[in-house]
């Protein structure tokens, strides 16, 4: 696969698993007491905090796997399973509550500052997003590949920021029903990506 193809595959996977549209109702709920200006600042700070978290795992993922003695095939299989569970949630085939618990959601409503928790993590940079960057980091062969992943992470977080920044307009334009439809479509695509991850993992097992 070409570098451009790899970049867009990674970018699409990361944006889908971060699920900015699916998390939009949570963002609006958590920031309903904030002004429009404050909401934009929270969207920016939360997206950048998520970017920093993903940067950390993108740069250190190799050491994490070496420390625990985990091979790439095993991580791909586990990652594919995680993605598939997320996809089922996005398709509303299993109950929600995988990214955040009911307690975390209630805390998010009460908190004055939701930038780091629960917005940056676990909503945006949760287990699924972290798995994406670590798997792709393991596939990277040189510094330019890592730089491409870091750039893709930045682009993904910028996309998330603009979606959250435009939350009021998006809700007015397509409504919650439109968001659910788009989330289901992305869930279907994520399910395909999840299966491909698991197939790749099985193929690398000797």
Percentage of the chain surpassing pLDDT 70?
A: 90
In contact, 15 and 159? CB cutoff 8 Å: yes
Please report the pLDDT score of residue 150 as a whole number: 95
pLDDT in tens, 141-156: 788 889 999 999 999 9
pLDDT in tens, 95-112: 765 555 555 555 555 566
**How many CB atoms sit inside 10 A of residue 9's CB?**
15
Structure tokens at 129: 């997003």
């Amino acid at each position: 696969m070409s570098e451009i193809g790899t970049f867009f595959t990674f970018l699409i996977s990361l944006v889908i698993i971060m699920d900015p549209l699916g998390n939009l109702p949570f963002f609006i709920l958590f920031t309903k007491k904030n002004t429009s200006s404050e909401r934009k600042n929270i969207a920016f700070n939360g997206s950048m905090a998520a970017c920093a978290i993903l940067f950390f795992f993108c740069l250190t993922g190799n050491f994490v796997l070496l420390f625990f003695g985990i091979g790439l095939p095993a991580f791909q299989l586990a990652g594919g399973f995680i993605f598939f569970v997320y996809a089922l949630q996005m398709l509303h085939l299993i109950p929600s509550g995988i990214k955040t618990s009911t307690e975390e959601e209630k805390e998010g409503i009460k908190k004055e500052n939701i930038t780091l928790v629960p917005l940056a993590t676990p909503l945006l940079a949760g287990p699924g997003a972290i798995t994406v960057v670590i798997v792709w980091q393991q596939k990277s062969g040189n510094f330019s590949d890592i730089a491409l992943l870091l750039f893709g992470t930045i682009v993904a977080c910028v996309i998330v920021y603009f979606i959250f920044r435009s939350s009021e307009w998006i809700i007015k334009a397509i409504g919650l029903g439109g968001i659910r439809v788009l989330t289901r479509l992305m869930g279907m695509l994520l399910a395909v990506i999840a299966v491909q991850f698991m197939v790749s993992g099985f193929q690398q097992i000797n």
